[in-house]
Structure 1
Amino acid sequence: MPASRPRATSRVTVRATVRGALLALPACAPLLCSTASAQSAALDPVVVVGTREPQALSKSVADVVLIDRDMLRDSGADSVEDVLRRYAGLQLLRNGGPGQTSGYLLRGTNTNSTVVMIDGLRVGSATLGQAAFESMSLDQIERIEVLRGPASGLYGSDAVGGVIQIFTKKGQGPLNLTAGAALGEYDSRKADIALSGAQGGFDYAASVGRETSDGTSAIRPNDVNGYYNPDRDGFARTNLTARLGFTPAEGHRLGLSASQNKLNAQYDSANFNPPDFLPDASPDFRNRSTTRVVSADYRGTLSPLWTTTIQAAHGVDDSRAGAPDPARFKTTRDQATWQNALRLAPDQQLLLAYEHLTEKADGVVADTLKRRNNAYIAGYTGQFGPGGRASVQASLRRDDNSAYGGFTTATLGGSYALTETLKVRALAGNSFRAPTFNDLYFPFYGRADIQPEKGRSVELGLNWRSGASNASATVYRNKVRNLIVYNADPDGTQCPVGYFGCADNIGRAKLQGATLTGAHRIGNLSVSATVDLVDARDEQTGSRLPRRAAHQESVSADYDTGVWSVGASLTEVGARPDVGAQLGAYALLDLRATWRFLPQWRLEAKVLNAADRDVQPVYTYQGLGRQAWIGVRYDMKGF
Structure 2
Amino acid sequence: MQPSQFLFAMQPILSRAASSLARPSSRPSTHVSALATRGALTALSHAALLALGAVPVAALAQSSSSPLDRVVVTGTREAQPLSKSVADIVLIDAETLRDGGADTVEEALRRYAGLQITRNGGPGQSAGYLIRGNNASGAIVLVDGVRVGSATLAQTAFEAMSLAQIDHIEVLRGPASGLYGADAVGGVIQIFTKKGQGPLSVTGHAAVGGNNSRQADFGVSGAQAGFDYAASVGRETSEGVSAIRPHDANGYYNPDRDGFGRTTAAARLGFTPAEGHRIGLSATQSRLNAQYDSADFDANFNADPSPDFRNRLKTRSIAADYRGTLSPIWTTSAQVARNTDDSLSGGGFPSRYKTDRDQVTWQNALRVGAGQQVVLAYEHLSEKVRADVFPSAPKRTNNAYIAGYTGEFGPIALEGSLRRDDNSAYGGNTTGNLGASYALTSELKVRALAGKTFRAPSFNDLYFPQYGIPTIRPERGRSIELGLNWTSGASSASATVYRNKVRDQIAYNPDPMGTDCPKGYFGCAGNVGRAKMTGATLTGSHRVGNLSLNATVDFLDAQDELKRTRLLRRAAHQESVSADYDTGTWSVGATLTDVGARPDVGGNLGAYAVLDLRASWKFLPQWRLEAKMLNVADRDVQPVRDYQGLGRQAWFGIRYDMKGL
Instruction: Verify same fold: TM over 0.5.
Output: yes
Q: CA deviation at 1:540?
A: 1.5
SS at match of 1:312: strand
Q: Matches of residues 11-50 of structure 1 in structure 2 within 5 Å? A: 40-41=65-66, 44-50=69-75
- Residue in 1 that maps onto 2:414: 392
Q: Is the 8 A contact 2:509 2:528 kept in 1?
A: no
Looking at structure 1, the residues matched to 182 and 409 of structure 2 have their Cα atoms a distance apart, in angstroms, of 32
Q: CA RMSD in A?
A: 2.1
Judged with a 3 Å threshold, the aligned counterparts in structure 2 of structure 1 residues 573 and 491 are, in CA distance, closer, same or farther, namely farther
Looking at structure 2, the residues matched to 491 and 233 of structure 1 have their Cα atoms a distance apart, in angstroms, of 42
Looking at structure 1, the residues matched to 397 and 549 of structure 2 have their Cα atoms a distance apart, in angstroms, of 47
Looking at structure 2, the residues matched to 63 and 592 of structure 1 have their Cα atoms a distance apart, in angstroms, of 29
- Residue in 2 that maps onto 1:35: none
Among residues 594, 600, 604, which one is paired with 2:616 in the alignment? 594
1:409 aligns with 2:434: no
Which residue identity lines up with residue 535 of structure 2 in the other structure? G
SS at match of 1:170: coil
Larger CA deviation: 172-181 vs 485-494: 485-494
- Residue in 2 that maps onto 1:254: 279
- Residue in 1 that maps onto 2:43: none
Q: CA deviation at 1:69?
A: 0.6
Structure 1 gaps of 5+ residues are: 5-26, 32-37
Q: CA deviation at 1:429?
A: 1.1
Q: Is the 8 A contact 1:203 1:246 kept in 2?
A: yes
Q: CA deviation at 1:40?
A: 3.9
Q: Is the 8 A contact 1:506 1:538 kept in 2?
A: no
Larger CA deviation: 298-307 vs 534-543: 534-543
Looking at structure 1, the residues matched to 165 and 445 of structure 2 have their Cα atoms a distance apart, in angstroms, of 35
1:119 aligns with 2:141: no
SS at match of 1:624: coil
Q: Is the 8 A contact 1:153 1:430 kept in 2?
A: yes
Q: CA deviation at 1:624?
A: 0.6
- Residue in 2 that maps onto 1:564: 586
Looking at structure 2, the residues matched to 490 and 180 of structure 1 have their Cα atoms a distance apart, in angstroms, of 56
Among residues 341, 345, 348, which one is paired with 1:324 in the alignment? 348
Percent identical: 71
Which residue identity lines up with residue 117 of structure 2 in the other structure? L
- Residue in 2 that maps onto 1:343: 367
Q: CA deviation at 1:466?
A: 0.6
Judged with a 3 Å threshold, the aligned counterparts in structure 2 of structure 1 residues 213 and 195 are, in CA distance, closer, same or farther, namely same
Write the deviation string for residues 181-207 of structure 1: whole angstroms up to 9, x where unpaired.
000000100100001000000000000
Looking at structure 2, the residues matched to 535 and 391 of structure 1 have their Cα atoms a distance apart, in angstroms, of 30
Among residues 434, 437, 462, which one is paired with 2:456 in the alignment? 434
Q: Is the 8 A contact 1:600 1:638 kept in 2?
A: no
Q: CA deviation at 1:158?
A: 0.2
Q: CA deviation at 1:570?
A: 0.6
Judged with a 3 Å threshold, the aligned counterparts in structure 2 of structure 1 residues 277 and 536 are, in CA distance, closer, same or farther, namely same
Which residue identity lines up with residue 605 of structure 1 in the other structure? A
Which residue identity lines up with residue 302 of structure 2 in the other structure? L
- Residue in 2 that maps onto 1:609: 631
Q: CA deviation at 1:488?
A: 7.4
Q: CA deviation at 1:588?
A: 1.0
Looking at structure 2, the residues matched to 120 and 536 of structure 1 have their Cα atoms a distance apart, in angstroms, of 30
Write the deviation string for residues 316-370 of structure 1: whole angstroms up to 9, x where unpaired.
1000000123100000010000000000113000000000000001114110010
Judged with a 3 Å threshold, the aligned counterparts in structure 2 of structure 1 residues 174 and 447 are, in CA distance, closer, same or farther, namely same
Write the deviation string for residues 505-561 of structure 1: whole angstroms up to 9, x where unpaired.
343211110100111111111110001111110112210111111110000000001
- Residue in 1 that maps onto 2:270: 245
1:297 aligns with 2:297: no
Which residue identity lines up with residue 235 of structure 2 in the other structure? R
Looking at structure 1, the residues matched to 430 and 656 of structure 2 have their Cα atoms a distance apart, in angstroms, of 50
1:470 aligns with 2:495: no
1:145 aligns with 2:179: no
- Residue in 2 that maps onto 1:109: 134
- Residue in 2 that maps onto 1:288: 312
Q: CA deviation at 1:498?
A: 6.6
Judged with a 3 Å threshold, the aligned counterparts in structure 2 of structure 1 residues 494 and 44 are, in CA distance, closer, same or farther, namely same
- Residue in 1 that maps onto 2:185: 160
1:537 aligns with 2:559: yes
Looking at structure 1, the residues matched to 574 and 620 of structure 2 have their Cα atoms a distance apart, in angstroms, of 39
1:546 aligns with 2:568: yes
SS at match of 1:78: coil
Judged with a 3 Å threshold, the aligned counterparts in structure 2 of structure 1 residues 68 and 129 are, in CA distance, closer, same or farther, namely same
Looking at structure 1, the residues matched to 147 and 483 of structure 2 have their Cα atoms a distance apart, in angstroms, of 28
Judged with a 3 Å threshold, the aligned counterparts in structure 2 of structure 1 residues 192 and 454 are, in CA distance, closer, same or farther, namely same
Looking at structure 2, the residues matched to 462 and 503 of structure 1 have their Cα atoms a distance apart, in angstroms, of 40
Q: CA deviation at 1:491?
A: 11
Q: Which runs of 4+ in 1 moved over 4 A?
A: 486-502
Looking at structure 2, the residues matched to 491 and 525 of structure 1 have their Cα atoms a distance apart, in angstroms, of 63
Q: Is the 8 A contact 2:598 2:604 kept in 1?
A: yes
Looking at structure 2, the residues matched to 176 and 489 of structure 1 have their Cα atoms a distance apart, in angstroms, of 60
SS at match of 2:178: helix
SS at match of 2:485: strand
Write the deviation string for residues 37-85 of structure 1: whole angstroms up to 9, x where unpaired.
x984287100000000000000000000000011101111110000000
Q: Is the 8 A contact 2:400 2:421 kept in 1?
A: yes
Which residue identity lines up with residue 307 of structure 1 in the other structure? T
Judged with a 3 Å threshold, the aligned counterparts in structure 2 of structure 1 residues 638 and 594 are, in CA distance, closer, same or farther, namely farther
Which residue identity lines up with residue 347 of structure 2 in the other structure? A
Q: Matches of residues 460-539 of structure 1 in structure 2 within 5 Å? A: 460-486=482-508, 502-539=524-561
Q: Number of matched residues?
A: 604
- Residue in 2 that maps onto 1:267: 292
Write the deviation string for residues 562-582 of structure 1: whole angstroms up to 9, x where unpaired.
100000001111111111111
1:82 aligns with 2:107: yes
Judged with a 3 Å threshold, the aligned counterparts in structure 2 of structure 1 residues 302 and 187 are, in CA distance, closer, same or farther, namely same
Larger CA deviation: 504-513 vs 450-459: 504-513
Looking at structure 1, the residues matched to 206 and 473 of structure 2 have their Cα atoms a distance apart, in angstroms, of 48
- Residue in 2 that maps onto 1:12: none
- Residue in 2 that maps onto 1:185: 210
Judged with a 3 Å threshold, the aligned counterparts in structure 2 of structure 1 residues 638 and 172 are, in CA distance, closer, same or farther, namely closer
Looking at structure 2, the residues matched to 500 and 116 of structure 1 have their Cα atoms a distance apart, in angstroms, of 33
Structure 2 gaps of 5+ residues are: 1-24, 27-51, 57-62
Looking at structure 1, the residues matched to 621 and 221 of structure 2 have their Cα atoms a distance apart, in angstroms, of 19
Among residues 382, 389, 414, which one is paired with 1:358 in the alignment? 382
SS at match of 1:226: coil
Looking at structure 1, the residues matched to 583 and 511 of structure 2 have their Cα atoms a distance apart, in angstroms, of 58
- Residue in 1 that maps onto 2:86: 61
Q: CA deviation at 1:137?
A: 0.4
Q: CA deviation at 1:613?
A: 0.5
Looking at structure 1, the residues matched to 615 and 604 of structure 2 have their Cα atoms a distance apart, in angstroms, of 36
